[in-house]
Structure 1
Amino acid sequence: MRFFSKFFATLLAVVLLPAFMAVAQTQTITPGDNLVVEGIPPIPVSIVQSVERYTNFRAASLASWHPKRREMLISTRFADTPQVHLVKSPLGARKQLTFFPERVAGGRFQPTQGEYFVFSKDIGGNEFSQNYRYDFATGDITLLTDGKSKNSGGIWSNKGDRIIYTSTRRTGKDNDFYIIDPLDPKTNKLITQVEGGGWGPLDWAPDDSKILAIEYVSVNESYLWLLDAASGEKKLITPKGGKEKVSYGGAIFSKDGKGLYVVTDKESEFQRLAYVDLATMQPTYLTTDIKWDVEDIDLSDDGKNLAFVTNEDGTSVLHLLDTATRKEKPLPKLPVGQVLGTNWHKNNEDLGFTLVSARSTADVYSLNIRTNKIERWTESETGGINTANFTDAQLIRWKSFDGKTISGFMYRPPSKFTGKRPVIIDIHGGPEAQSRPGFLGRLNYIINELGVTVIFPNVRGSSGYGKTFLQLDNGFKREDSVKDIGALLDWISTQPQLDKDRVLVTGGSYGGYMSLAVATNYPERIRASINIVGISNFVTFLERTEGYRRDLRRVEYGDERDPKMREFLLKISPLNNASRIKKPLFVIHGKNDPRVPLNEAEQIVATVRKNNIPVWYLMAKDEGHGFSKKRNIDFQFYATIMFIQENLLK
């Protein structure tokens, strides 16, 4: 239910040897014309050959069940980008339905007949997604939105005759609500105007008369509303102005429409599952005994069973609740990893989900709750590598500067590597995300073949550890999270198997800021840093990030329009401390990034170069907030391997 961005997302992405690259007579590869490459030495073909199998991992995720048949839409990549595929049986053939140069998101069957589906797609990673209809009878694709604004994928009505979605088309920054019959794009209608970019639909009432919506203010504050599906009139159902800020991670109507199943941290440190009676708005908490966040819920079509997933120290645990008795039903144990996107079939027996673990790339499964039988629907390629031998995550903990316990996950290289091992610290984005055990994809090459230990820390401000921990880096406390990495460096120095003198720090998005901040605060304790789509100056970032997300980010980072906060943000920004960066830097960015604009990369590159520090720079003209096209991901990986070899391993 939470949004998160995890560094090295581009390195963890599923991925075939890129056809765009020319091999020169000098046995180096030539980047495509879409890439701007500065300061990066020619990449030898030998690197391409040595990593090739690790670039051929694929993954699959569940998009939608067919309403009448036991078939599903999935997302996977055969060529350069993920597209929508149809799978008609467990481990059946994957039939590709969409063929675009850009990645395709969603794939939501019309929920009564399944004769068409709706999907979303942007251009060049700009995140201004448009919705389209795919007709099975003809294969025709029809644009449903305006082609210009940012649109959400939307939610189907129960009758299957309408979708409610949000769009920024009115102001460019407010997520207004629109309703459309996808069979007739002319029916598109604005029903409710709102202020802010944090609004979204959650569910339709069983009779389709009302729509449940969320107003997201921050990771610690959100509100639930009811919208009248005919008039668009909205009614706040969770009060504002109380002493406690409350977050709702999700909500759905009960089958009779008299209540809601919600995920909330109201009166709790963690996100709990609760039933809320709409007549009294009084919650009944259903998971008080679980001291971890509930993060995903889905109700069966008959309303009898509620599936939910808990995040227990980074590991997903699947649960099944009988809504009549409100007691859990026993389920078979799943491998340690992450369970994503639970989705009931209308037969009320099959629960579909995506499962990923350290030794298994993301694939689609279903669980029959009558028989407890688990079936695998996809078996994604792993480049011919036996992933059962991959290293598993080890949970580690260390004390920070103020006595707080910080945790993370460590992946060690195989035993063939002896002596103290070099370390890569990989910091997640968000900042309210969480590093969790999962399939590392290409990163396994760095661990298995280069002998590097990789640590994914969850510094203060990470989700999954309670709302108090989540707020420990807000506003003027921003650099406390950087100190958590300083404490991690102290911990590394005490570990006999780790080399404190060979440490590289990296991260993406907010993790990119963190990697730059570590490079400015602890320059003598690292060998190099990699900044992917990261923030270099909080003020210029807040002033230039897209309007629909600017206020949402101010809640987390602070409002740059306030003089005292502006002064603080400028003081801690890596750009204004770049003279302290003493070690080589690699900066990676997409030209079309709407979240962290390209200027954030350009200004840190120019400034650090003035100090005569080696800077590698890679920019993709056809990407946004992280690379999504395989050919670009491949080149980034080759360059990253060479940067590691030059600056960490020598």
Structure 2
Amino acid sequence: MVKQSWRKTMLVVTGIIAGVAAVWYAVFGLKPYSVTTEELTQIYSYEQKAVEVNLSPLKANHFALEYKTFDGDKVNGHILYPSNYDATTPIPVMVGVHGMGRSDVRWIQESFKGRDTYEQTDELTKMALAKGYAVIAIDSRNHGKRKNPDYNLIDVMRDIDWWGKREPYENMVIDSVKDHRVLIDWIATQPQFDQNQISVAGYSMGGQISLILAALDKRVDNVLSIVPPYLTNAVARVAIKNFATAVDSPKVWLVSADDDEYASERENEALFDAIASVKKLHVVVEGEHILPEGYYKKLQGWY
């Protein structure tokens, strides 16, 4: 008798939980939606204007930079030149794009505020400089020095996960892509840079931004996208699968992990197959989203 009563109670509780979950999903759950190529082009468009970048020397061949982007927001970052830099000869340039929760300094320093650069993007910068590249990195929206204390990244992700508010997350990525396009507008006016060798490299969210940037801006010649998250049409405006067929840069490398919690092997293979570039390479690394120490050594051929 007691067992039957317990079972009935559990069935009632289970039913209540299922009902609450169904109501929550109906009200707050993210529903997929569709977006056309034309709509994406419009969403990521901006008014091109002359870009004034202010440079402040920090040390030899290393400058802090600031500029106002398409909507007047201030963008900060860094630019590094190789040690043997000769201003009389145009050199290739690599734009490094950081991951979620990180900042531009992760392309420059092996640690920041006592915390290691576990994505090892500082090593990618060292390799680029050794190959004769200039390296530029900026803070994405709501990251680094551009954090919004009234609505920070934790708020953004909580609202999308719990309350189905996708717009703050999508807008953060969209505006970050536009900020990088404005940066490329400036790069395109600088005689010290080889306009046929503008490369973009990014880790995680940075890999996502890099692919979107390459799809929209044909001035990007080479792309290195490292463990980008595979997103569904619940956030269609920033899901890289909706841009892959437009990524036709001369060289595209996709680096994925075989046990990534943000993208399965099948999803990564589908993404790679969809990328339009003829000269593309899929590098699969054993590990999770945080790739193992030294993975960057497999990428020397990209430069």
Shorter-chain TM-score category? 0.5 to 0.7
Is residue 488 from structure 1 mapped to residue 183 from structure 2 by the alignment? yes
* Corresponding letter in the other structure for 1:446: A
Residue in 2 that maps onto 1:422 = 92
* Corresponding letter in the other structure for 2:288: G
Q: Is the 8 A contact 1:531 1:587 kept in 2?
A: yes
Offset, 1:641: 2.5
Residue in 1 that maps onto 2:261 = 594
Deviation string, structure 1 residues 141-166 (Cα, Å, up to 9, x no partner): xxxxxxxxxxxxxxxxxxxxxxxxxx
Residue in 2 that maps onto 1:513 = 208
- Choose the corresponding residue for 1:412, options 81, 86, 89: 81
- Choose the corresponding residue for 1:400, options 69, 79, 102: 69
More displaced 10-residue stretch of structure 1: 469-478 or 482-491: 469-478
- Choose the corresponding residue for 1:573, options 214, 239, 257: 239
Counterparts of 2:280 and 2:70, CA distance in 1: 31
Offset, 1:629: 4.1
Distance 1:625 1:392, change over 3 A: farther
Counterparts of 1:576 and 1:592, CA distance in 2: 23
Distance 1:595 1:470, change over 3 A: same
Is residue 585 from structure 1 mapped to residue 252 from structure 2 by the alignment? yes
* Corresponding letter in the other structure for 2:148: K
Residue in 2 that maps onto 1:623 = 287
Deviation string, structure 1 residues 162-219 (Cα, Å, up to 9, x no partner): xxxxxxxxxxxxxxxxxxxxxxxxxxxxxxxxxxxxxxxxxxxxxxxxxxxxxxxxxx
Counterparts of 2:174 and 2:264, CA distance in 1: 22
Larger Rg: 1
Offset, 1:467: 1.7
Offset, 1:496: 3.0
Distance 1:450 1:629, change over 3 A: closer
Counterparts of 1:581 and 1:595, CA distance in 2: 21
Distance 1:490 1:531, change over 3 A: same
Counterparts of 1:587 and 1:410, CA distance in 2: 25
Is residue 434 from structure 1 mapped to residue 103 from structure 2 by the alignment? yes
Residue in 2 that maps onto 1:456 = 137
- Choose the corresponding residue for 2:279, options 594, 605, 614: 614
Q: Is the 8 A contact 2:139 2:146 kept in 1?
A: no
* Structure with a larger share of its residues in strand: 1
Counterparts of 2:70 and 2:254, CA distance in 1: 29
* Corresponding letter in the other structure for 1:533: V
Offset, 1:464: 3.2
Deviation string, structure 1 residues 250-291 (Cα, Å, up to 9, x no partner): xxxxxxxxxxxxxxxxxxxxxxxxxxxxxxxxxxxxxxxxxx
Q: Is the 8 A contact 1:397 1:405 kept in 2?
A: yes
Kindly report which structure 2 residues correspond to 1:152-163, keeping only aligned pairs within 5 A, or say none: none
* Corresponding letter in the other structure for 2:238: I
Is residue 474 from structure 1 mapped to residue 168 from structure 2 by the alignment? yes
Instruction: State the secondary structure of the residue aligned to 2:243.
Output: helix
* Corresponding letter in the other structure for 1:529: V
Kindly report which structure 2 residues correspond to 1:158-173, keeping only aligned pairs within 5 A, or say none: none
Residue in 2 that maps onto 1:8 = none
Offset, 1:572: 3.5
Kindly report which structure 2 residues correspond to 1:165-564, keeping only aligned pairs within 5 A, or say none: 393-417=62-86, 418-430=88-100, 432-436=101-105, 437-439=108-110, 440-441=122-123, 443-447=125-129, 449-467=130-148, 470=152, 474-477=168-171, 478-522=173-217, 524-536=218-230, 538-539=231-232
Residue in 1 that maps onto 2:23 = none
* Corresponding letter in the other structure for 2:239: S
Instruction: State the secondary structure of the residue aligned to 1:579.
Output: helix
Distance 1:414 1:618, change over 3 A: same
Offset, 1:517: 0.7
* Corresponding letter in the other structure for 2:91: R
Kindly report which structure 2 residues correspond to 1:140-155, keeping only aligned pairs within 5 A, or say none: none
Identity %: 21
Residue in 2 that maps onto 1:129 = none
Distance 1:410 1:600, change over 3 A: farther
Counterparts of 1:572 and 1:595, CA distance in 2: 15
Deviation string, structure 1 residues 58-98 (Cα, Å, up to 9, x no partner): xxxxxxxxxxxxxxxxxxxxxxxxxxxxxxxxxxxxxxxxx
Counterparts of 1:445 and 1:424, CA distance in 2: 11
Counterparts of 1:571 and 1:464, CA distance in 2: 25
Q: Is the 8 A contact 1:461 1:474 kept in 2?
A: no
Aligned residues: 217
Counterparts of 1:442 and 1:532, CA distance in 2: 11
Instruction: State the secondary structure of the residue aligned to 2:145.
Output: coil
Q: Is the 8 A contact 1:427 1:514 kept in 2?
A: yes
* Corresponding letter in the other structure for 2:270: Q
Counterparts of 2:291 and 2:68, CA distance in 1: 35
Offset, 1:612: 5.7
Counterparts of 2:242 and 2:289, CA distance in 1: 23
Q: Is the 8 A contact 1:503 1:526 kept in 2?
A: yes
* Corresponding letter in the other structure for 1:404: D
Q: Is the 8 A contact 1:429 1:510 kept in 2?
A: yes
TM norm structure 2? 0.64
Counterparts of 1:591 and 1:643, CA distance in 2: 20
* Structure with a larger share of its residues in helix: 2
Offset, 1:642: 1.9
Instruction: Indicate the RMSD between aligned Cα atoms, in angstroms.
Output: 2.6
* Corresponding letter in the other structure for 1:511: G
Instruction: State the secondary structure of the residue aligned to 1:628.
Output: coil
Counterparts of 2:92 and 2:78, CA distance in 1: 16
* Corresponding letter in the other structure for 2:211: L
Counterparts of 1:518 and 1:507, CA distance in 2: 11
Offset, 1:491: 1.4
* Corresponding letter in the other structure for 1:601: N
Offset, 1:442: 5.5
Counterparts of 2:81 and 2:277, CA distance in 1: 34
